[in-house]
């Protein structure tokens, strides 16, 4: 068997369009899920037991169900409740919903890494709870929360391929549409894999930079 | 939820559930020994083999699972390897699982104290015996928690088989939803089934960890 | 504590000739030679990173030396023996580690019978009988069914010594055997070692316990930066060290102990 990449230039624009949608999906989910995850993590520390209980149950459900099922749910259910979205926004909603809970786990771990003495010391100085949180606690959570946060973030990119199942024209579905026509699946898939690898590499570089930064923060912050 | 519809589509859902269980069991059974073998070969640090394994494992971990499944199912025939959807899904998901799992196992193996190797070698024990009698038993309690987490991820991952036309649980639920326009019944029901499966695995994990702790008189949180 | 009498034969038990060991650019052992006679107890002292522990690991080829020779009981150690033969020779050399390194998933008894059965080919019955003998010798006859995590550090180290003795070694290497112990547990381990010396075991002991060295060791070897800077009869070296490094080192040790 010989690989024949001569057909690739013709289909390159289609793949590139797919890669662009993949990138859009990744960035949108990142931007939406991060602040929601932040809020969820803070609510997890709320004093109200019912709130904590509901959040833990939701977190367990969203992280226990296959992401693909959640994508299907959004695809079929959102129009029924009056939200007639295109496939892409619908996938963004679905992916953001479960990623927010993964991020919340990372942030909760970060919050728990701050010693209780920090709260006590800040309160003893007369700082308000809000001020304590923003000025004292949150800056200290970042070093512990960042590495798991970024590793979840890299999962988003790989997860975007699921959106192919709900008619989002991202890279995996673009590749499939192309090779169904050209009958050269291996070549097209190799090119698609290479594009994913490049996108991965970019995220990986960000991750390493982030981890180095976090490690420095941790050393500096714990002396 | 609409129980009447659930009963109407029960045969398809039941079939889907069985297929999901089959894929999950098959991928776990195939991936575990392969992962163990990869981990051992990586630990043995044979020069060329090690480099090849590093590249292969990380290439697989870099790619979306959907692309790996496409490679097996659509790319296979180009290599003269025409597989049924079910076989392709099981092979693709096993490859993914083995790559991730080998890293989990390797982490457990290398977490065993180096002094254990030294003491065993000083007594004249052979490498094979050191591995089987000294290292593996100590690594197992360390490997079980990440292994079970991985197993749950693999059960969720079995839903991806639907992307290569396998009629498993997610596919059955989404098909029923698209026919009846009632995702609330079918997708929520399927989600509940997934949660029950992973719940059972979590219970098994708790039991296994308790059993191992008692067996080896381990104190919680380490040796 | 008084001097522990023991009989030293003329026959050489351990010879190390021009051992050299480097890790990358770091020189751990530089041209180290020493010999130990049968029944002799050798105390090895020196600062941390001076090469004492590396020497022990080179003697039984846990860490093969880059060059030089090791001869144990008249027979050469080395990779040339082949993997299997080297393993069997290694089993003739008992080793006790600072961190005990007992197998945590085995009971005390299992720790003692594993290697005799696997390496020496003893039956379970023979190995168990020998193990019980040794446990009685180190005063732990009632602990055979316990797991290491249920024992004190001193008890664990006594088990580790019994485990090494179960192979009926010709030489025993001790790598700072009491350094990881709480002070009140040190003496029970040293007593086991004194008994062993009195029974005529050839011993190389890396230690900071100067009282023990004075009571038991026939000779002292002082290491500094991968070299032997001084060696001689215990009393002489302790009373009148020649080399400035060993003077400084021994002064510091004697002050603290």
- We find that the CATH architecture of domain A8-221 is Orthogonal Bundle (1.10)
- For B12-27, what is each residue's pLDDT tens digit? 889 999 999 999 999 9
Q: Taking 70 as the threshold, does the pLDDT of residue B58 lie above it? A: yes
- For C208-221, what is each residue's pLDDT tens digit? 888 889 889 999 99
Handedness of CA B9, B15, B16, B18 (dihedral sign): positive
* Nearest C-alpha neighbor of C95 from the set C181, C190, C161, C2: C161
Whether A64 and B156 lie within 8 Å, measured CB to CB: yes
Q: Identify the chains in contact with C, defined as 3+ C-beta pairs within 8 A.
A: B
Q: pLDDT grade, residue B220 (50/70/90)?
A: very low
Cβ-Cβ contacts under 8 Å, C91 against chain B = 123-124
Cβ-Cβ contacts under 8 Å, C147 against chain B = 216-217
Whether C103 and B122 lie within 8 Å, measured CB to CB: no
* Nearest C-alpha neighbor of C53 from the set C202, C177, C210: C177
Could you give phi then psi for residue C71, rounded to 5 degrees?
Answer: -125, 120
- For B177-202, what is each residue's pLDDT tens digit? 888 888 888 889 999 999 999 999 98
Q: Taking 50 as the threshold, does the pLDDT of residue A223 lie above it? A: no
Cβ-Cβ contacts under 8 Å, A193 against chain B = 63, 67, 71
B178 sits in which H/E element: helix B169-180
Nearest to A172 among B64, B184, B188 (CB): B64
CA–CA gap between residue B186 and residue B3 (Å, rounded): 10
Contact B118, C97 (CB under 8 A): yes
| Residue C198 distance to chain B (closest CA, Å) | 24
Q: Where are the domains of chain A?
A: 8-221
Q: pLDDT grade, residue C125 (50/70/90)?
A: very high
Q: Taking 90 as the threshold, does the pLDDT of residue A217 lie above it? A: no
Residues of chain C with CATH 3.40.50.300: 1-92+170-257
Residue in chain B nearest C118 by alpha carbon: B125
Average pLDDT over residues A1-17: 80
| Residue B159 distance to chain C (closest CA, Å) | 39
CB pairs below 8 Å between B and C: how many?
Answer: 73
Tokens 């009056």, residue located? A82
CA–CA gap between residue C124 and residue C118 (Å, rounded): 10
Residue of B59, B65, B66 to mutate when probing chain A, most A C-beta within 10 A: B66
Q: What is the pLDDT of residue B223?
A: 38
Fold type of domain C1-92+170-257: Rossmann fold (3.40.50)
Nearest to B124 among C91, C103, C160 (CB): C91
Give me chain A's average pLDDT, please.
85
Cβ-Cβ contacts under 8 Å, B74 against chain A = 176, 179, 185, 189
Whether C87 and B125 lie within 8 Å, measured CB to CB: yes
Q: pLDDT grade, residue B218 (50/70/90)?
A: low
Q: What is the pLDDT of residue B66?
A: 92
CA–CA gap between residue B67 and residue A152 (Å, rounded): 19
Contact B44, A146 (CB under 8 A): no
Contacts of C146 by beta carbon, 8 Å cutoff, 6+ apart: C107, C108
Question: B183 — contact with chain A (CB < 8 Å)?
Answer: yes
Least confident of A5-9, A88-92, A97-101, A102-106: A5-9
Q: What is the pLDDT of residue B221?
A: 37
Whether C101 and B217 lie within 8 Å, measured CB to CB: no
- For B89-140, what is each residue's pLDDT tens digit? 999 999 999 999 999 999 999 889 889 999 999 999 998 899 989 998 899 8
Right CATH for B3-215 from 1.10.3720.10, 1.20.120.550, 3.40.50.1100, 1.10.10.60: 1.10.3720.10
Buried b (16+ CB within 10 A) or exposed e, C2-24: eebebebeeebbbbbeebbbeee
Q: What is the pLDDT of residue C40?
A: 94
Nearest to B75 among A73, A165, A185 (CB): A185
Question: B213 — contact with chain C (CB < 8 Å)?
Answer: no
Q: Taking 50 as the threshold, does the pLDDT of residue A44 lie above it? A: yes
Q: pLDDT grade, residue A222 (50/70/90)?
A: very low
Q: Taking 70 as the threshold, does the pLDDT of residue A90 lie above it? A: yes
Q: Taking 80 as the threshold, does the pLDDT of residue C60 lie above it? A: yes
Q: pLDDT grade, residue C242 (50/70/90)?
A: confident
Residue of B59, B67, B177 to mutate when probing chain A, most A C-beta within 10 A: B67
- Provide residues of C within 8 Å CB-CB of chain B: 57, 60, 62, 84, 87-88, 90-91, 93-95, 97, 99, 101-105, 114-115, 118-119, 147, 149-150, 160, 163-164, 167
Q: Taking 50 as the threshold, does the pLDDT of residue B167 lie above it? A: yes
Name the more confident of C180 and A181: C180
Tokens 């193990």, residue located? C131
Whether B115 and C99 lie within 8 Å, measured CB to CB: yes
Q: What is the pLDDT of residue C22?
A: 92
Average pLDDT over residues C29-37: 92
Q: What is the pLDDT of residue C176?
A: 93
Could you give phi then psi for residue C98, rounded to 5 degrees?
Answer: -60, -45
Q: What pTM was estimated for this model as a whole?
A: 0.80
- For C174-228, what is each residue's pLDDT tens digit? 999 999 999 899 999 999 999 999 999 999 999 988 888 988 999 999 999 899 9
Average pLDDT over residues C113-141: 93
Whether B194 and A69 lie within 8 Å, measured CB to CB: yes
Q: pLDDT grade, residue C256 (50/70/90)?
A: low
Q: What is the pLDDT of residue A122?
A: 83
């Amino acid at each position: 068997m010989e690989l024949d990449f001569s057909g690739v230039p013709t289909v390159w624009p289609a793949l590139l369009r797919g890669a662009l949608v993949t990138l859009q999906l990744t960035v949108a989910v990142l931007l939406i899920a991060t602040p929601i995850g932040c809020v969820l993590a803070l609510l997890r520390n709320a004093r109200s037991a019912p709130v904590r209980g509901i959040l833990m149950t939701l977190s367990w459900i969203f992280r226990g169900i296959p992401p693909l099922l959640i994508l299907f749910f959004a695809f079929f259910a959102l129009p029924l409740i009056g939200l007639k979205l295109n496939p892409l926004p619908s996938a963004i909603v679905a992916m953001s919903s479960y990623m927010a809970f993964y991020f919340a786990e990372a942030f909760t771990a970060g919050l728990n890494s701050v010693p209780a003495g920090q709260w006590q010391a800040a309160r003893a100085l007369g700082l308000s709870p809000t001020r304590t949180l923003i000025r004292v606690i949150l800056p200290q959570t970042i070093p512990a929360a960042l590495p798991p946060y970024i590793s979840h973030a890299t999962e988003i990119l790989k997860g975007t391929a699921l959106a192919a199942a709900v008619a989002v024209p991202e890279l995996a579905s673009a590749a499939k549409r192309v090779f169904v026509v050209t009958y050269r699946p291996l070549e097209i898939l190799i090119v698609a894999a290479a594009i994913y690898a490049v996108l991965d590499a970019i995220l990986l570089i960000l991750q390493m930079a982030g981890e180095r930064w976090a490690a420095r923060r941790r050393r500096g912050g714990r002396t | 939820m609409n129980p009447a519809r659930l009963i109407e589509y029960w045969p398809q859902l039941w079939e889907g559930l069985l297929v999901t269980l089959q894929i999950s069991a098959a991928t776990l059974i195939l991936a575990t020994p392969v992962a163990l073998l990869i981990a051992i070969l990586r630990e043995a640090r044979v020069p060329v083999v090690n480099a090849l394994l590093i590249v292969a494992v990380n290439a697989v971990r870099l790619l979306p699972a959907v692309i790996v499944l496409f490679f097996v199912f659509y790319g296979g025939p180009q290599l003269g390897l025409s597989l049924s959807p079910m076989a392709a899904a099981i092979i693709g998901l096993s490859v993914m699982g083995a790559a991730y799992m080998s890293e989990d196992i390797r982490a457990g193996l290398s977490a065993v104290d180096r002094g254990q190797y030294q003491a065993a070698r000083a007594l004249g024990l052979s490498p094979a015996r050191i591995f089987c009698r000294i290292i593996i038993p100590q690594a197992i309690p360390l490997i079980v928690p990440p292994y079970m987490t991985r197993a749950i991820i693999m059960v969720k991952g079995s839903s991806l088989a639907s992307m290569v036309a396998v009629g498993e649980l997610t596919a059955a639920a989404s098909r029923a939803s698209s026919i009846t326009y009632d995702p609330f019944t079918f997708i929520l029901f399927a989600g509940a089934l997934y949660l029950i499966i992973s719940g059972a695995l979590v219970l098994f994990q708790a039991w296994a960890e308790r059993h191992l702790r008692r067996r080896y008189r381990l104190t919680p949180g380490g040796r | 504590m008084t001097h522990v009498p023991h009989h030293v034969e003329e026959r050489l038990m351990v010879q190390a000739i021009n051992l050299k060991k480097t890790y990358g650019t770091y020189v751990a052992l530089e041209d180290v030679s020493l010999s130990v006679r049968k029944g002799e107890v050798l105390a090895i002292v020196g600062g941390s990173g001076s090469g004492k522990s590396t020497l022990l690991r080179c003697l039984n080829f846990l860490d093969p030396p880059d060059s030089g020779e090791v001869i144990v009981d008249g027979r050469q150690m080395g990779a040339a023996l082949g993997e299997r033969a080297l393993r069997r020779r290694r089993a003739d050399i008992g080793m006790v580690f600072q961190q005990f390194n007992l197998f945590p998933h085995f009971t005390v008894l299992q720790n003692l019978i594993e290697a005799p059965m696997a390496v020496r080919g003893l039956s379970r019955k023979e190995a168990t009988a020998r193990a019980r003998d040794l446990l009685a010798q180190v005063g732990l006859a009632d602990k055979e069914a316990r797991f290491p995590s249920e024992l004190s550090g001193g008890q664990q180290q006594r088990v580790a010594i019994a485990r090494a003795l179960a192979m009926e070694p010709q030489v025993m290497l001790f790598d700072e055997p009491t350094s990881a112990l709480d002070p009140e547990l040190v003496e029970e381990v040293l007593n086991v070692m004194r008994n062993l010396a009195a029974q005529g075991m050839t011993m190389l002991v890396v230690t900071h316990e100067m009282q023990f060295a004075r009571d038991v060791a026939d000779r002292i070897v002082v290491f500094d930066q991968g070299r032997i800077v001084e060696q001689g009869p215990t009393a002489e070296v302790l009373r009148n060290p020649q080399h400035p490094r060993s003077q400084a080192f021994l002064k510091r040790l004697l002050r603290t102990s």
